[in-house]
Amino acid sequence: MSKIMAVNSGSSTLKWKLYTVPDEKVVAKGMVDRLGLSDSVFEVEFDGKKISEMGDIPDHTTAVNKMLDKLIDLKIINSYDEITGVGHRVVAGGSIFKDSAVVTPRVVQQIKNLSEFAPLHNPGQADGIEAFEKILPDVPQVAVFDTSFHQTMDPVNYLYSIPYEYYEKYGVRKFGAHGTSHRYVSQAAADYLHKPLNDLKIISCHLGSGASIDAIEDGKSVDTSMGFTPLAGITMSTRSGDIDPSLVAYLMQKLKITDPTEMVKVLNTKSGLLGISGVSPDMRDLLATRDENDRSDLAIRIYINRIVKYIGSYIALLSGVDVLIFTAGTGAKNAEIRADIANSFNYMGVKIDKEANENAEGTAIISSEDSTVKVLVVPTDEELMIVRDVVRLTKYSD
């Protein structure tokens, strides 16, 4: 049976899953951590077993070679020929990529050119693509962009109220992120409800370490909480979310910071739940300490407050909502947070089934039968969405 690989490569990591097609089963997964550094970590998981090795892996090409050779050694594949396609997660597609794209030299160069929009991601993802090209030159590759799903937004929603020439000259606009996740869970929810996606007004809440809210109508992204970068939007684990831009200048002066990137780093890595609580960026830690730590409780309440505000604004934007989705780490696994968010909309007839919510596993409806809005938990599967895009765009058939 032929196989397709979904890859997420960064500057110092390379994560992957290997699927059989067309049955979409994961046969192996793994990662390389500390790529390009000393004591790199190499892991493969398959058949309930996990193999872990340490040793220097200097670059992406070495990592891909080691991974493919290990797949053969473990008899997960018999030869490279079994791999019929490779899909890559790419963070920033800018305004260029309105859909996933088959990789060509021009596409790789465009990904590199867009690195200024995602300097921590695009360069490593381009390196990963080029590594696979060297080793599997005849295997089609597809780039799947986090931003492409949001290219359906109207200018009213993606433009900032700054001089229009900045958009014309520099491409400054809202791009959003998590598009692959929002695309996957919205379709999965429609399938679960046995309703056409195009008939539904959906608000999708991707609540992980990074978090975003998306308004979806007719299967298309109408507006999303993240902005020019993933720093904007709701409060996240270590990201601030929306703040007054003047505050950046004020804090730089007070903190004697002269490099704007240093201030952006503070907003990206020292803010959010971590910054407010002083305890942890992990929601589980905050829930465990909220009774004895007022700031843990405050961080949770601010987190919920910002999510509720975005959901409320998107209900107004869509002129109603049919489906509310919770996904990603906190969204799919934390019943208490889901209930606090959904119960904020009791006034409009949203009702949570307490037992269904607390026992939800996999895709599940957690609203009561008389709720005016269907509330669902839908675990995301961005890797499967990547594989499906490889199949769709390369016209693969078994």
Number of helices (H) and strands (E) in the chain: give both, helices first. Answer: 15, 14
Residue with tokens 């979806």: 216
pLDDT band of residue 396 (cuts 50, 70, 90) is low
pLDDT greater than 90 at residue 117: no
The answer to whether the CB of 215 falls within 8 A of the CB of 317 is yes
Residue 210, annotated ligand binder? Answer: yes
Nearest by Cα to 299 from 310, 290, 291 = 290
Strand pairing category for 323-327 and 201-207: parallel
Nearest by Cα to 307 from 233, 392, 397 = 233
Residue 282, annotated ligand binder? Answer: yes
Residue 283, annotated ligand binder? Answer: yes
Instruction: Give the list of residues 6+ apart from residue 133 with CB closer than 8 angstroms, or none.
Output: 103, 141
Residue 206, annotated ligand binder? Answer: yes
Q: Region 20-42: what's the mean pLDDT?
A: 89
pLDDT band of residue 11 (cuts 50, 70, 90) is confident
CA distance 222 to 206: 16
Q: Region 46-63: what's the mean pLDDT?
A: 89
Q: Region 53-62: what's the mean pLDDT?
A: 88
Torsion of CA 158, 164, 168, 169, to 10 degrees: -120
DSSP lists the bridge partners of residue 86 as: 5, 141
Amino acid symbol at 149 = F
pLDDT band of residue 213 (cuts 50, 70, 90) is very high
pLDDT greater than 80 at residue 120: no
Residue 382, annotated ligand binder? Answer: yes
- pLDDT value for 343: 97
Q: Which of 23, 73, 127, 146 is catalytic?
A: 146
Locate 264 and state its tokens: 């952006």
CA distance 125 to 130: 9
Q: Region 37-44: what's the mean pLDDT?
A: 87
Q: Respond yes or no: is residue 146 known to be catalytic.
A: yes
CA distance 374 to 189: 10
Q: Region 226-255: what's the mean pLDDT?
A: 95
| 243-291 pLDDT per residue, tens | 999 999 999 999 999 999 999 999 989 999 999 999 999 999 999 999 9
- pLDDT value for 289: 95
Residue 89, annotated ligand binder? Answer: yes
CA distance 225 to 174: 9
Q: Region 303-328: what's the mean pLDDT?
A: 98
pLDDT greater than 70 at residue 237: yes
pTM across the whole model: 0.91
Structural domains in the chain plus CATH codes: 3-145 (3.30.420.40), 195-382 (3.30.420.40)
Locate 50 and state its tokens: 């996990």
The answer to whether the CB of 390 falls within 8 A of the CB of 219 is no
Give φ, ψ of 115 to 5 degrees. -60, -25
pLDDT band of residue 298 (cuts 50, 70, 90) is very high
pLDDT, averaged across the chain? 93
Tally of CB atoms within 10 A around 375: 25
- pLDDT value for 398: 44
CA distance 224 to 222: 7
Q: Region 306-330: what's the mean pLDDT?
A: 97
Secondary structure string (H, E, C) spanning 267-325: HHHCCHHHHHHCCCCCHHHHHHHCCCCHHHHHHHHHHHHHHHHHHHHHHHHHCCCCEEE
pLDDT band of residue 318 (cuts 50, 70, 90) is very high
| 333-380 pLDDT per residue, tens | 999 999 999 999 999 999 999 999 999 999 999 999 999 999 999 999
Residue 95, annotated ligand binder? Answer: no
Q: Region 181-193: what's the mean pLDDT?
A: 96
Q: Region 226-240: what's the mean pLDDT?
A: 93
CA distance 226 to 329: 18
CA of 133: how far to CAs of 40, 64, 104, 126, 130, in Å? Answer: 22, 10, 10, 11, 5
Q: Region 302-311: what's the mean pLDDT?
A: 98
